Amino acid sequence: MLKLFLETGQIVGTHGIRGELRVNPWSDSPNFLTEFKEFYLDDKGQKKLNVLSVKPHGRIVIMAVEGVESIEAAEHLRGKVLYISRNDIHLEEDRYLVQDLIGCKVYDVDSKEYIGELSNVSETGANDVWHIIKDSKEYLIPAIPDVLIDVDVKNERIEIRPLKGIFDDED
């Protein structure tokens, strides 16, 4: 089942003396966080932070939020995980949230054979690499259009066309 509130980063420190927060974004780019006006401090959406400003600063984000106007107030938020509402996310076609991919069952599109469960996603620069676990063994597949045939996160099902040599039973 898809979660309504998703982890998106962590407050790792303060910036300046006016209560700005340094946030480590858990996304492809710090720019992703600039799209949001509200963040949450819990996975139920009960503790909301209203954003005054968000700006990328290298690999982190500098964020000002309503009600946090001093370094002391900002310090109390250090270490907190930030969440966003799924309803506020607008992803391009063929883009997925890693949290939605983890746990999906992976099948060979041609043979319909169960390959395993997606357990992790690694960024390599050129393309992501998906980690698939089956019988305590890990397989790595490139997340490229030739391999990824159908990704259905709502039904937790992924169909791939594996490259030759990735799985042990290949000739």
Q: Does domain 5-88 have CATH number 3.90.180.10?
A: no
Q: Residue 149 to residues 32, 69, 96, 156: CA-CA distances in angstroms? A: 26, 49, 14, 14
Domain with CATH 2.30.30.240 in the chain: 98-160
Point out which residues pair with 48 in neighbouring strands: 40
Q: CA angle at residue 107 from 106 to 113, to 5 degrees?
A: 140
Q: How confident is the model at residue 95 (pLDDT cuts 50, 70, 90)?
A: confident
- Tell me which of 43 and 167 has the higher pLDDT: 43
Q: Is 72 helix (H, G, I), strand (E, B) or coil?
A: helix
The mean pLDDT of 70-77, rounded to a whole number, is: 95
Domain with CATH 2.40.30.60 in the chain: 5-88
Nearest in space to 8 (alpha carbons), one of 121, 96, 111, 85 = 85
Question: Which of 1-5, 51-55, 128-132 is least confident?
Answer: 1-5
Q: Is the pLDDT of residue 50 over 80?
A: yes
Q: How confident is the model at residue 99 (pLDDT cuts 50, 70, 90)?
A: confident
pLDDT at 166: 76
Q: Is 52 helix (H, G, I), strand (E, B) or coil?
A: strand
Total length of the chain: 171
Query: Which run of H or E residues covers position 133?
Result: strand 128-134
Q: Pinpoint the alpha helices (H) of 3-150.
A: 71-75, 98-101
The CATH code of domain 98-160 reads 2.30.30.240
Q: What percent of the chain has pLDDT over 70?
A: 97
* DSSP, res 79: T
Q: Pinpoint the alpha helices (H) of the chain.
A: 71-75, 98-101
